[in-house]
């Protein structure tokens, strides 16, 4: 019996590639939920998702579709949705995108997996900006690729710098690079010129370019430029999660160079068959809900203003430029060398939940915390108020 148990244990040993780190923000959420269960009012600034629901147009379309058959769709996505996404690039960016290059995905998360599988071999090195969204490096690792973190600085608005990319490439060749603008956790953006220079540098060096454009539409400082406008060879990844407030619908898209369409179609056929049908129907109708989503965006702008104006008086005067998305990345090194502990204490004592920078940056994350301002105006005001009182500055 003992022998059987022992051999069963050996059989269910998890693979080394599955040994990816957890997402610390989930620990913060769990701690906040425990406080709330004890009757405490917590201000939630930790999770990166909109408080608003999907546009009414999307909800109505989904309700309408529920009466009928919800069947598989083509693996690349419903044709009319792919065409609608392509049209979106004409409307927003003034460029023609062939609907044949559009692939519907289960959120941008599935887009990363498909892009990495479609472009890279095991062992390939892929450059990422540090700090950055943790699943990039964790998915790459799980697929046997090597994430290469490149430090960013104020000089480049916390974006990858072409010279740093080339230096990493010369040290050991890179197969790809992934950037996000607006970025998570920093909320910073690359100008069109900076993005263009980086894409040019990467492509001249034979480095494949992936652009995570999930926060497009949520730009306040200046307009975000899509890589689709700058290169026909870049892989674009986008999602309905953020601008369209559809996180739980798990729906996104890619725009890929023509030679990648069929390989990614074959991957998606095998990995997922197709993307949830109800979500595809809702997503297509979401484009008709832009006026509603613009109002939601104005709410974020207002929250951003409250934090940008209020946090310095509350004691957090150093943060990265909050250009876009709905994040503010604040330097707390004046108070602590351990952002995880700082976030834990801020939650326990000020009842404000925020995410420690160590989630996003293994090098300097201990000096930062991230606030997500995708909630209500009251939450933004309460954050300034409570943090200020807690730090003894109000
Ligand atoms: C930068 C970035 N990319 C991608 C995602 C994944 O989003 P989804 O899979 O919902 O499209 C997130 C989620 O927070 C994100 O912040």
pLDDT in tens, 321-359: 899 999 999 999 999 999 999 999 999 999 999 999 998
The pLDDT of residue 309? 97
Q: How far is 325 from 159, CA to CA, in rounded Å?
A: 15
Residue count of the chain? 394
Could you tell me the distance, in angstroms and rounded to a whole number, from the CA of residue 241 to the centre of ligand 1? 7
Per-residue confidence at 394, pLDDT binned at 50, 70, 90? low
Could you tell me the distance, in angstroms and rounded to a whole number, from the CA of residue 136 to the centre of ligand 1? 10
Collect all residues with Cβ–Cβ distance below 8 Å to 37 and sequence separation of at least 6.
none
Could you tell me the distance, in angstroms and rounded to a whole number, from the CA of residue 247 to the centre of ligand 1? 9
Could you tell me the distance, in angstroms and rounded to a whole number, from the CA of residue 305 to the centre of ligand 1? 24
Mean of all residue pLDDT scores within the chain = 95
Nearest Cα to Cα of residue 332 among 371, 295, 274, 284: 371
Could you tell me the distance, in angstroms and rounded to a whole number, from the CA of residue 383 to the centre of ligand 1? 24
Q: How far is 151 from 129, CA to CA, in rounded Å?
A: 6
The pLDDT of residue 258? 97
Query: pLDDT, tens digit, for every residue of 155-203?
Result: 778 889 999 999 999 999 999 999 999 999 999 999 999 999 999 999 9
pLDDT of 105 over the 90 cut:
yes
Q: Which of 47, 108, 112 to mutate to test the pocket of ligand 1 (most atoms within 8 A of CB)?
A: 108
Q: How far is 318 from 54, CA to CA, in rounded Å?
A: 34
In the chain, the percentage of residues whose pLDDT exceeds 90 is 88
Measured CA distances, 228 to 77, 159, 286, 336, 382 (Å): 20, 18, 21, 42, 40
Q: What is the dihedral of CA 375, 286, 321, 127, to 10 degrees?
A: 120
215 CA: nearest ligand 1 atom:
1
Ligand 1: residues within 6 Å at CB? 48, 107-109, 133, 180, 184, 212, 214, 239, 241, 247, 252
Q: Which of 69-73, 301-305, 353-357, 389-393 has the lowest mean pLDDT?
A: 389-393
Q: What is the dihedral of CA 127, 121, 22, 335, to 10 degrees?
A: -10
Q: Which of 50, 54, 133 to mutate to test the pocket of ligand 1 (most atoms within 8 A of CB)?
A: 133
Query: pLDDT, tens digit, for every residue of 204-247?
Result: 999 999 999 999 999 998 999 999 999 999 999 999 999 999 99
């Amino acid at each position: 019996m003992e022998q059987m148990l022992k051999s069963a244990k050996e059989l269910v040993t998890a693979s080394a590639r599955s040994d990816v780190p957890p997402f610390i923000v989930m620990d913060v959420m769990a701690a906040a939920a425990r406080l709330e269960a004890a009757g405490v009012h917590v201000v939630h600034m930790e999770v990166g998702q909109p408080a608003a629901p999907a546009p009414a147009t999307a909800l109505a379309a989904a309700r309408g579709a529920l009466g009928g058959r919800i069947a598989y769709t083509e693996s690349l996505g419903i044709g009319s949705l792919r065409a609608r996404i392509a049209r979106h690039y004409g409307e927003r960016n003034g460029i023609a995108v062939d609907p044949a290059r559009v692939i519907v995905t289960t959120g941008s998360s599935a887009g990363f997996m498909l892009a990495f599988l479609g472009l890279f071999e095991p062992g390939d090195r892929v450059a990422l900006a540090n700090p950055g969204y943790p699943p990039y490096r964790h998915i790459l690792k799980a697929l046997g690729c090597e994430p290469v973190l490149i430090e960013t600085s104020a000089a480049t608005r916390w974006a990858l710098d072409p010279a740093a990319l080339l230096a990493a490439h010369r040290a050991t060749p890179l197969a790809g690079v992934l950037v996000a603008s607006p970025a998570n956790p920093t909320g910073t953006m690359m100008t069109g010129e900076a993005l263009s220079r980086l894409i040019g540098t990467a492509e001249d060096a034979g480095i494949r370019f992936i652009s995570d454009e999930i926060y497009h539409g949520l730009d306040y400082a200046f307009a975000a430029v899509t890589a689709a406008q700058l290169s026909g060879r870049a892989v674009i990844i986008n999602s309905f999660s953020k601008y369209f407030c559809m996180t739980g619908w798990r729906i996104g898209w890619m725009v890929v160079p023509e030679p990648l369409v069929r390989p990614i179609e074959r991957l998606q056929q095998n990995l997922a068959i197709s993307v949830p049908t109800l979500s595809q129907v809702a997503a297509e109708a979401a484009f008709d809900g832009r006026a509603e989503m613009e109002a939601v965006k104005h709410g974020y702008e207002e929250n951003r203003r409250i934090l940008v104006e209020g946090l310095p008086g509350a004691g957090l005067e150093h943060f990265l430029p909050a250009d876009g998305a709905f994040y503010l990345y604040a330097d707390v090194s004046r108070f602590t060398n351990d952002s995880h502990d700082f976030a834990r204490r801020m939650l326990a004592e000020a009842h404000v939940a925020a995410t420690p920078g160590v989630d996003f940056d293994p090098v300097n994350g201990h000096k930062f915390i991230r606030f997500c301002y995708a909630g209500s105006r009251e939450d933004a005001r309460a954050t300034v108020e409570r943090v200020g009182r807690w730090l003894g500055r109000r």
